[in-house]
Amino acid sequence: MNREAMENALRQGLSRQRAGDLPSAARWYESVLQQAPEQVTALHYLGLTRFQQGQLSSAENLLRRALAQRTDNANAWSDLGMVLLRRGQPEASIEAFSKALSLAPDHPDALHNKAQALRQLGRFDQARPLLEHLLTLKPKSASARYLLANVQHRANDLDAAIPAYREALRLAPGDKRIRLGLGDALESSGQFSEAREHYDAVLAADPDSPLALARLLQMRDREPAREQVRRAETLADNPATPEDGRVRLNIGLGYYHDRQQQFETAFQRLQAGYEVLARRAPFDSDGYSRAVDKLIEALPKSFFESAPNSGLDSERPIFIVGMPRSGTTLTEQILASHSQVAAGGELSSLLKVSYRIGELSARGKPYPAGLRSVAPPDLRSLAEDYLRQLDRVAPQAARVTDKLPFNFMHLGVIALLFPRARIIHCHRHPLDNCVSCYFTSFADQIRFANRLDTLGRYYVDYHRLMTHWKQALPLEIFDLRYEDLVTNTEDRIRALLGHCDLPFEDSCLRFYQTERGVRTPSRWQVRQPIYAKSVGRWRNYQQQLAPLAEILAPVLGAEENQRG
């Protein structure tokens, strides 16, 4: 094939590809590669065609071959990043997008898709500037504006997210995804009525929208119309409904039937939804148990007794830890109602600290063993970095809460960085806590909650680790039991404020009047006075929970002994 014929074949392939005739496009590119196996353009375009056909492994191989010939091809790097992101490799995709941007800093696809990968990893502070730059290049891009709104939303910056969603919707009024995102953000900010209007608008255009129906089923301010419930049931039971839609509808119906006290139906619906999620992304209970073993072995009481005082004396951070659905959001809402306290929400800063332990460890060991050999100046530097994050969240506040529940894994780090920090451990009856986790749609974020057996094993390991920290750490850990907060509210709030060295303020008793954005599943509850409805909820599902109760037996025994 001479050069003219090769160029014609490439033009024909590109024309077919743009027209959506992918098999024909692939044949044209393959005809070039039969004559010139390493022809860069053919490798690149065939790789992109295979990506469009869903043949991700072949696409990656072809794009890497193209880049081996031309490492300065920004488009090929961007396309490789897209393939890697679709293959579930966000870290690797970020490397590819970064190479594309080093060659072409204004590459719109690389900017957009790198931001998507960063969002997927929860690195919202890194995603935002990419999208802001992209919007200077494409100010009328509804997709870029939507992605920025979503990043701001997930970072709990609702003051920025809601206007960004509105602007995206103005640019693309018919985009259901944008309207659903805006509705979710409005729910987070307590604007339930307007959120419902957006879900209804989606259903007016698409009566079979699983996402809109599922959101209405889960809202508590008003029950959905009976016709909407019937429609949701029909769609959930129809194999032709996309699997993601069936999952969301079954979970939404589980919430609805639970509120109607139709407990057997509620559990069946939830189980139908969560079984799919558990199959897609199983949780490694054995691996998690080993991680807890390593923490306990690496950070015994003797280590903290001999460790030099190398952290900062700051009392600014207040750490709220515990299992999800144990009362952490309620506790933060109470504290955020105090004039000296700002709510930081679920910060990822301590997780980032744990990632840096390996590079700072004198022995090059990762966390947790590496923590033993981090030099005092490096520990202080980590503490200062954390405080700078608090400055970005709430620059004027004297105290700032960090209520990422899973920070119970990092109490050893907290003890070294902030020896005067206040730790609040939220907990409740183990079965009530697990039922609440099971009845909360965490999607892919908290995989252990998608099955009762993995949920039970996770709880046992959490309890084991907290027992270790309480005997090993020099820090005082304040236990706040949800049941006590319900039955003796003012006394426990006074004790909570006293632990934080804060004067009592009546506003903390009226926490449900405090206006702030809440992204967690507790966003409805924290805007209501404390109620006892959720205490003993597990009894409604006693038969279904028998296997869970068996796993939790040692913890349940300890709970009974603690209560006396």
Q: Is 145:167 a contact under the CB 8 Å cutoff?
A: yes
* Residue with more model confidence, 534 or 416: 416
* pLDDT-derived band at 561, boundaries 50, 70, 90: low
- Please write the tens of the pLDDT for every residue from 50-86: 999 999 999 999 999 999 999 999 999 999 999 999 9
Is residue 293, in this structure, part of any structural domain at all?
Answer: no
SS3 504: coil
The whole-angstrom separation of Cα 335 and Cα 423 is 13
**């053919």: which residue's tokens?**
42
Are the CB atoms for 485 and 330 separated by under 8 Å?
A: yes
pLDDT surpasses 60 at 524: no
- The mean pLDDT of the chain is 91
Residue 213: the pLDDT is 96
Please tell me the predicted confidence (pLDDT) of residue 536. 86
Higher pLDDT, 527 or 171: 171
The DSSP H or E segment spanning 382 is helix 376-393
What confidence tens digit (pLDDT) does each residue in 127-185 have?
Answer: 999 999 999 999 999 999 999 999 999 887 888 999 999 999 999 999 999 999 999 99
Q: What is the DSSP letter of 37?
A: T
Q: Give the model's pLDDT for residue 345.
A: 85
User: Is the pLDDT confidence value at 371 over 60?
Assistant: yes
Asked if the bond preceding 317 is cis, omega within 30° of 0, the reply is no
Eight-state DSSP code of residue 374:
B
Residue 1 pLDDT grade (very low, low, confident, very high; cuts 50, 70, 90):
low
pLDDT surpasses 80 at 199: yes
- Quickly tell me which residue has 């897609």 as its tokens: 280
| Residue carrying structure tokens 């999620």 | 277
pLDDT of 359 strictly over 90: no
- Residue 81 is assigned to a structural domain of this protein: no
pLDDT surpasses 50 at 519:
no
The answer to whether residue 63 sits within a structural domain is no
DSSP-assigned states of every residue in 450-483 = GSHHHHHHHHHHHHHHHHHHHHH-SS-EEEEEHH
Mean of pLDDT values over 232-256: 95
Is residue 39, in this structure, part of any structural domain at all? no
Specify the higher pLDDT residue, 5 or 409: 409
pTM of the model: 0.82
514 found inside a domain: yes
Burial code (b: 16+ CB inside 10 Å, e: under 16) for 485-522 equals bbeebeebbeebbebbebeeeeebbebeebebbbbbbb
CA dist., res. 486 & res. 62, Å (int): 61
Instruction: Indicate the number of domains in the chain.
Output: 1
Looking at beta carbons, which pairs linking 131-134 to residues 24 or more positions away fall under 8 Å?
A: 133/106, 134/108
Which comes out higher in pLDDT, residue 532 or 224?
224
Q: Using one digit for the tens of pLDDT, what is the confidence trace for 476-507?
A: 999 999 999 989 999 999 999 999 999 999 99
Segments forming the whole domain that contains residue 418: 315-563
Over the Cα atoms of the chain, what is R_g? 26
Task: Look at residue 390 and tell me if it is in a domain.
Answer: yes
Place of tokens 């969002």: 119
* Distance in angstroms (rounded) separating the CA atoms of residues 523 and 515: 11
- For 303, the enclosing helix (H) or strand (E) is helix 301-306
CATH code, domain with 432: 3.40.50.300
Q: Is position 357 within any domain?
A: yes
254 burial via Cβ count (<10 Å: 0-12, 13-18, 19+): buried
Which residue reads 């603690």 in tokens? 562
Q: Which of 257-266, 364-373, 390-399, 529-538 is the least confident region?
A: 529-538
Q: Is 39 left (phi over 0), alpha (psi -120 to 50) or beta?
A: beta
Domain membership of residue 156 (yes or no) is no
- The sign of the CA dihedral 357, 363, 365, 371 is negative
pLDDT greater at residue 378 or residue 347: 378
Instruction: Write down the pLDDT at residue 399.
Output: 96
Indicate if the pLDDT at residue 517 is higher than 60.
no
Q: How far apart are CA 347 and CA 421, in angstroms?
A: 16
Helix (H) or strand (E) holding 424: strand 422-427
For 312-346, what is each residue's pLDDT tens digit?
999 999 999 999 999 998 999 999 999 999 998 88
Closest CA to 148 of 438, 15, 163: 163
pLDDT at 268: 97
Tell me the pLDDT tens digit for each residue of 272-284: 999 999 998 899 9
